Amino acid sequence: MKRVLALLLASNLWANAQTNGFDFADAELGASLHIPAGWVAIPKEMLYEVAGYGAKLEPTPAAREWLAAYQRANTNGLRSTFPKILVQYQKGSPLTEMQFEGIHVAPLVEINVAQSLGFAGKPEFMKSAHYDKAKQCLEFDFDCQVPDNGRVVALGRSFLTDQGVVNIYCYAAAYEFSAVRPEFEKILTSFRLPAGRRYQPQVVAIAGSNGNETLKTFGSVLGLMGIVGIVYLLLRRWRDTVWSDEI
């Protein structure tokens, strides 16, 4: 019965998708994404089947993190049809702007960022990722092998927010990816996030009384390190001295 209701809902959304399209909006985040005509929303009760573990897609985060999924209106079935768009919210994600900006500094950073986003192994595709500071967005492409569908290519966009990361993944079969990519990019550029929900880098203040205490502590540590170094050099020199009673 649930499947029948889901299909009826998809049919109603299909009719609406043929006009002006519609907007995805999340009340908690205040984020929005415009979905153009020709696409339909997949019912939330079916998200597990079309994303993550259910469809054996990468990335494979927890099912509760998927906010929405969309596919072409003229396709049959809702499980493994491509092209497909998935919207995910990793609330409380530890990823920071410094990690996104330093993605190419060392393999460890690349691996850490990719695995935090839900990718397994050592994803080499992160080497070609690009961080847009104005949009606070990490942009990257990746391949995904899907059972019964073969090679799938996807665009990934990770937007920093004040409480986590919003990820949008656009999947298409490899043979049609080039043709659908312009449409994907147009959809991705429609993403909006209120200024108050943007990621705010943490600034460490060193001025005032707290700053003076910090500087004093830092100076004390340096002084102690200097004393230890001098003692070490004196002891080493003393041990290198040959005394008369040792001859």
105 and 227 part of one domain: no
- Reading the block at residue 115, the tokens are 């695995």
Cα–Cα distance for residue pair 153/166, rounded to 1 Å: 20
240 and 172 part of one domain: no
Cα–Cα distance for residue pair 111/215, rounded to 1 Å: 35
- In 112-148, which positions are buried (b, 16+ CB within 10 angstroms) versus exposed (e)? bbbebbbbeeebeebeebebeeebbbbbbebebebee
38 and 67 part of one domain: yes
Backbone angles phi, psi at 140, to 5 degrees: -160, 160
Q: Which residue has tokens 């897609």?
A: 57
Cα–Cα distance for residue pair 37/16, rounded to 1 Å: 8
Whether residue 219 contacts residue 206, with contact meaning beta carbons closer than 8 Å, is answered with no
| pLDDT value for 42 | 86
Q: Which of 148, 140, 149, 147 is CA-nearest to residue 118?
A: 140
138 and 235 part of one domain: no
Range of the domain at 61: 2-197
**Domain annotation covers residue 202:** no
**Domain annotation covers residue 223:** yes
Whether the link from the prior residue into 83 is cis, omega within 30° of 0, is yes
Q: Which of 61, 114, 51 is CA-nearest to residue 82?
A: 51
| pLDDT value for 237 | 54
**Domain annotation covers residue 106:** yes
Q: How many structural domains does the chain have?
A: 2
Whether residue 186 contacts residue 36, with contact meaning beta carbons closer than 8 Å, is answered with yes
222 and 152 part of one domain: no
**Domain annotation covers residue 203:** no
Q: Is the pLDDT of residue 115 over 60?
A: yes
Question: Edge-to-edge strand order for the sheet containing 150-160?
Answer: 39-41, 66-72, 84-91, 164-173, 150-160, 137-146, 130-132
- Give the model confidence (pLDDT) of 160-203 as tens digits: 999 999 999 999 999 999 999 999 999 999 999 998 889 987 65
Supply the CATH number for residue 22's domain: 3.40.1000.10
> 33 has which bridge partners?
24
190 and 228 part of one domain: no
34 and 6 part of one domain: yes
- Give the model confidence (pLDDT) of 47-100 as tens digits: 777 776 666 788 877 767 888 999 888 765 555 578 999 999 999 888 999 999
| pLDDT value for 78 | 52
| pLDDT value for 164 | 92
135 and 239 part of one domain: no
| pLDDT value for 247 | 38
Cα–Cα distance for residue pair 101/188, rounded to 1 Å: 20
Which long-range contacts does 98-104 make (Cβ < 8 Å, 24+ apart)? 98/201, 100/131, 100/138, 100/158, 100/160, 101/131, 101/133, 103/129, 103/131, 103/138, 104/129
- Confidence category of residue 102, pLDDT binned at 50, 70, 90: very high
- Give the model confidence (pLDDT) of 199-239 as tens digits: 987 654 444 445 455 445 545 544 545 554 554 445 555 54
144 and 182 part of one domain: yes
Which residue type occupies 59? P
238 and 188 part of one domain: no
| pLDDT value for 242 | 45
- Give the model confidence (pLDDT) of 3-57 as tens digits: 544 544 455 554 544 567 888 888 888 899 999 999 988 888 887 777 766 667 8
11 and 118 part of one domain: yes
